[in-house]
Amino acid sequence: MRSAFVTLDGARWVPGCLTAIDSSACTGRGRYFKVCSREVMHLHGVGDPGELLGACGGEDDDFDGELNRMIMVVDHAGRCIGCGACGHLCPKDCQTHVAADKVAASSDETNPGERDHVRP
């Protein structure tokens, strides 16, 4: 996997891939979900006591009354191109971005798209 690139003006650029979101800090407002063109993360419902209920099917989805709160979940990490757009929008600083060369090293052991990045 290539982990460093250059911009059009020749500057070196290393993608910073979104690998995790701190669910204890996430307020589930979904602001940065809208800027990601790669569908790396989705809003998930959380019931009691902190049980993940699954991806939200729409604004009115209350998971049959079990919904306690919403959190953003990195559920398709392998799709991330490390553009960094989402990192500028999180007001709670709950995202973890990792340099692509570090992600490439760890993905030799595990498929990043299949890992569970939730820390409920």
Residue 60 CB, shortest distance to ligand SF4, in Å, is 25
Q: Does 80 bind ligand SF4 (CB under 6 A)?
A: yes
Q: Does 72 bind ligand SF4 (CB under 6 A)?
A: no
Q: Does 67 bind ligand SF4 (CB under 6 A)?
A: no
Q: Does 103 bind ligand SF4 (CB under 6 A)?
A: no
- φ, ψ dihedrals at 38, nearest 5°: -110, 0
Q: Which two tokens stand for residue 21?
A: 């979101």
C-alpha distances (whole Å) from 80 to each of 23, 48, 76 are 19, 30, 8
Q: How many residues bind ligand SF4 (CB under 6 A)?
A: 12
Using the contact rule CB under 6 A, the part of the chain among 49-57, 64-72, 81-89, 100-108 near ligand SF4 is: 81-89
